[in-house]
Amino acid sequence: MLPVDGWSCLVTGAGGFLGQRIIRLLLEEEKQLEEIRVLDKVFNPQFLLEFSELKHKTKVTVMKGDILDEQLLHKACQGITAVIHTACIIDTGLHLRRETIMNVNVKGTQLLLEACISVGVPIFLYTSSLEVAGPNSYVKPVLNGHEGDLLENTWNNTYPYSKMLAEKAVLAIDGQLLRNGATIHTCSLRPVYIYGEGSILLQHEIIRALNNDKTIKRNREGAMANQAYVGNVAWAHVLALRALRDSEKAQRVGGQFYYICDDTPPHSYSDFNYELSKEWGFKLGSKIGIPFTLLYWSAFLLEIISLMLHPIFIYEPPFNRHLLTLTNSVFTLSDKKARKELGYEPRFSWLEAKQKTSQWIGTLLAQNREYLKAKAP
């Protein structure tokens, strides 16, 4: 059973796309939650205004600062019951921000874990990524992969590598005895590609298509991946947190990772973006003219050139093998374990999620109205 007395929660990456949704759900659903501390380097002013105007019992404490600030982390964790760690840098490149990404994603996680152990925080929930699992090959399909398959990303690209190291550090401390006599329980969620209103990645794709006469660049024929709506991924975090707060469930959930999907039908990334935006006049580009194998090995040559030039200056190739594999593979995952052990069920149907996201895309177009007028015949 969950404790009925008050508790508190720290959310890192709180100003981000997912972090904001998690906070809203915690405020809506967790009646015994006395305080949420929201930590991030940058906050949208509208986000802060929204919470300052809300009338609710839960105290919201805004903490602006860097995930590498050890003093700030100890202050943020003091007296906290649970931590949800979503803060990270997402990047599909090779070298450009490698040191920064490793510092934020790996060192930042380690420092936060040390702070939790030092002040006695008993619950730590980590937001990982499907890229910890793969895909590793565009010629070997993975359909409905699950946690028991022990899939592991073999790329040395900074983002998946950093998320893998951070997740291992989080899961490794599950069951450790804290100084205050409590035991820390940890688990990790691996969401698939997250979409919805406010998605920076989706916004970039829409703007890119606008610059190409509303044409979405097509992926390789037959490619397929999972996508999940941000509201459902946020809900999975709330449920995982509840499981970790339950002393009996924490014994089963602790040290585990879970894939998080929803009822969104798997698409290629290009087909998915088209499905969300077609009512606004977007279209799919023509099929890839260059044989994909040639494209893949061209990326390999660019990576070699980048490596050779690295001692002199940083050359970031326009594409790389990991990015090509990620967006052109058959790689789908199953969330059966999360449904069984966390009680996870999506709160939003595919139809609802599609409608909400498509409406948001419409607002993006309205913001670019002058641009569209200039492009009109």
What's the rounded mean pLDDT across residues 114-137? 97
Cβ 66 vs Cβ 75: under 8 Å: no
Where is average pLDDT lowest: 113-122, 133-142, 365-374?
Answer: 365-374
Asked, for residue 312, whether it belongs to a domain, the answer is no
**Distance separating alpha carbons of residues 210 and 306, to the nearest angstrom:** 30
Tell me the residue range of the domain where 249 lies: 7-134+144-195+227-262+333-347
> Is 80 exceeded by the pLDDT of residue 27?
yes
Asked, for residue 352, whether it belongs to a domain, the answer is no
Q: What is the pLDDT of residue 166?
A: 98
> Is 60 exceeded by the pLDDT of residue 86?
yes
Cα within 13 Å of Cα(119), Cβ side: 22
User: Pick from 99, 249, 141, 127: which is nearest to 192 by CA?
Assistant: 127
pLDDT above 90 coverage of the chain, percent: 81
Where is average pLDDT lowest: 51-65, 251-265, 312-326?
Answer: 51-65
> Is 80 exceeded by the pLDDT of residue 3?
no
Asked, for residue 51, whether it belongs to a domain, the answer is yes
Q: Please pick, among 159, 229, 259, 344, the residue that the annotation labels catalytic.
A: 159
> Is 70 exceeded by the pLDDT of residue 149?
yes
Indicate the pLDDT class of residue 98, thresholds 50, 70 and 90: confident
Between vectors from CA 348 to CA 343 and to CA 349, what angle results, nearest 5°? 105
Q: What is the pLDDT of residue 96?
A: 63
DSSP H or E run through 256: strand 256-260
Asked, for residue 163, whether it belongs to a domain, the answer is yes
**Distance separating alpha carbons of residues 54 and 309, to the nearest angstrom:** 53
Asked, for residue 176, whether it belongs to a domain, the answer is yes
* Number of CB atoms found within 10 A of residue 214's CB: 17
Q: What is the pLDDT of residue 375?
A: 52
> Is 90 exceeded by the pLDDT of residue 6?
no
> Is 60 exceeded by the pLDDT of residue 88?
yes
**Distance separating alpha carbons of residues 316 and 306, to the nearest angstrom:** 7
Residue 258's beta-bridge partner residues?
Answer: 189
What's the pTM value of the predicted model, to 2 decimals?
A: 0.94
Tokens 């879970």, residue located: 258
> Is 80 exceeded by the pLDDT of residue 178?
yes
What's the rounded mean pLDDT across residues 138-157? 94
Q: Among this protein's residues, is 159 annotated catalytic?
A: yes
Q: What is the pLDDT of residue 313?
A: 82
Taking phi over 0 as left and psi of -120 to 50 as alpha, with beta for the rest, 88 belongs to beta
What is the number of structural domains in the chain? 1
What's the rounded mean pLDDT across residues 248-254? 96
Q: What is the pLDDT of residue 287?
A: 84
Asked, for residue 61, whether it belongs to a domain, the answer is yes
> In degrees to the nearest 10, what's the CA dihedral of 179, 121, 188, 232?
170
Q: For residue 22, what is the domain's CATH number? A: 3.40.50.720
pLDDT above 70 coverage of the chain, percent: 95
Q: What is the pLDDT of residue 368?
A: 75
The alpha carbon dihedral of 53, 54, 60, 62 has a sign of: negative
Tokens 């794709």, residue located: 205
What's the rounded mean pLDDT across residues 186-201? 97
Q: What is the pLDDT of residue 366?
A: 87
With a CB cutoff of 8 Å and minimum separation 6, the contacts of 182 are 120, 122
**Distance separating alpha carbons of residues 258 and 341, to the nearest angstrom:** 9
Mean pLDDT of the chain: 92
- Of residues 359 and 369, the one with the higher pLDDT is 359
Indicate the pLDDT class of residue 309, thresholds 50, 70 and 90: confident
Asked, for residue 168, whether it belongs to a domain, the answer is yes
Q: Where are the beta strands (DSSP E) in 86-134?
A: 123-127
Q: What is the pLDDT of residue 97?
A: 80
Q: How many helices (H) and strands (E) does the chain have?
A: 15, 14
> Is 70 exceeded by the pLDDT of residue 117?
yes
> Is 70 exceeded by the pLDDT of residue 175?
yes
Asked, for residue 49, whether it belongs to a domain, the answer is yes
Helix (H, G, I), strand (E, B) or coil at 32: coil
